[in-house]
Amino acid sequence: MGIKNPMNAGKGPILMACRDPGSANMLVGLHWLLHKSQNGTLREKFLQILNVDQNARLRINAWGPAVNVWEHYGGAPHDVGEAEADQDQEFAWACKLVAVCAPTVLVTGLDDVDAIRTRALWMAATQQGVRVVILADNDTYLLERCFDLDRRRFEPDIIVVSNERVREGFELENFPMKNVHVLPNLAHERIKADGEGFNDLRSEWGATTDQTLVLFVSLVGAEMIEKGRKPPFDETQMLYDLLASLEKKRLSLPAGPHVSKPFLVVRPHPRENISKFEWMKSAEFTFPVIVSSQGSPKDAIYSSDWVVGRKSGVVDEAILREAQVYLLAD
């Protein structure tokens, strides 16, 4: 299915649903574009893709880490879901939601390989003749996540990616190219336009003004191996290496940037099992080390002197916010 004529746009709501923080950031970006952005040209492009008019109602469904993303944005989902159940229960729930909501279009992000509810919604919407639009929040593992509950490749009516290189990757896999559209990443567009203040977390973290606050952005890696996807990084080893480097007052060895009086804040990924950091409570370091998920990513970024980590949603946000970022190698 291609883009339909917006003059024939449906009258049902836009049903937005997500679990993962990256997906939620894309849907928050869409909400911002439709209701707050001054970029009328980009708004019209997305309205055309969604096949709705500017006054279309929204029905926002979020669960898991996505709920916090919406709360940090300043809005609340209409429906906050419980933890995911098994596939049969999720599919039955999704069929009922789509039938009752009667949306014109279902818009989701591209939740990770272990997400059940999002895929149940894709299948329920398709079964009931509702268009499915996916907004990809990054450039990696996209095709690997395009599958339904039966592990068959899922081809949405439209998937929006952020650059031509990614689009070409879909083409190489014989994906229907009329379904793949290149448009700016809405999470990034919202961040670039953000002029609001932030909550300084330094005092809450216990850092003094003369300490160099290093924010380590951790990732959900070991957890995904258990779900069948091996990431090209080891977040635990990255943390070990950073701790060893900070003992030498550097961000990496042998010659990374010098750091005087380091204070390390480890920020877990929202889906990370924080028990992996328990060992740090009894470990001895020559500088302060804490694990904290306080505040929004923006709060944490602006409260830090350095943001350290591999490319990720939070690190990308730090770059867009022109923070001092030190990228760790894969």
For the chain, the domains span 6-193, 202-327
Residue 37 vs residues 29, 43, 112: alpha-carbon distances, Å: 9, 8, 28
pLDDT digits (tens, 9 = 90+) for 92-144: 999 999 999 999 999 999 999 999 999 999 999 999 999 999 999 998 889 98
Are the C-beta atoms of 139 and 187 separated by less than 8 Å? Answer: no
Residues above pLDDT 90, as percent of the chain? 77
Among 96-100, 145-149, 225-229, 257-261, the minimum mean pLDDT is found in: 225-229
Output the pLDDT for position 140: 84
**Fold entry, domain 6-193:** Rossmann fold (3.40.50)
Q: What tokens does 50 get? A: 């969604």
Output the pLDDT for position 329: 75
Pairing of strands 105-108, 79-80: unpaired
Average pLDDT value for residue range 203-229 = 87
pTM of the model: 0.91
Residue 136 vs residues 51, 255, 277, 320: alpha-carbon distances, Å: 18, 36, 30, 18
Count Cβ atoms below 10 Å from residue 153 Cβ, excluding itself: 11
Domains 6-193 and 202-327 fall in the same CATH topology? yes
- Residue ranges of alpha helices (H) inside 74-129 are 87-101, 117-127
pLDDT digits (tens, 9 = 90+) for 58-92: 999 999 999 999 999 977 788 898 999 999 999 99
pLDDT digits (tens, 9 = 90+) for 246-287: 999 999 999 899 999 999 999 999 988 888 899 998 999 999
Q: What tokens does 34 get? A: 């439709």
Whole-angstrom Cα distance, residue 216 to residue 318?
12
Q: Over 70: is that where the pLDDT of 8 sits?
A: no
Cα-Cα-Cα-Cα dihedral sign, residues 192, 66, 233, 153: negative
Single-letter residue type at 192: K
Closest CA to 241 of 256, 252, 230: 252
Mean pLDDT of the chain: 92
DSSP track, 171-187: HHTT--GGGEEE---HH
Instruction: Report the CATH architecture of 202-327.
Output: 3-Layer(aba) Sandwich (3.40)
Among 79-83, 220-224, 234-238, 300-304, the minimum mean pLDDT is found in: 220-224
* Residue pointed to by tokens 């300043």: 74
Q: Over 80: is that where the pLDDT of 6 sits?
A: no
| 4 vs 131 pLDDT, higher one | 131
Query: 330 falls in which pLDDT band (50, 70, 90)?
Result: low
Pairing of strands 212-217, 306-309: parallel
Average pLDDT value for residue range 175-193 = 95
- Residue ranges of alpha helices (H) inside 36-175 are 40-50, 66-73, 87-101, 117-127, 142-145, 164-172
Q: What is the DSSP letter of 162?
A: S
Kind and range of the H or E run holding 107: strand 105-108
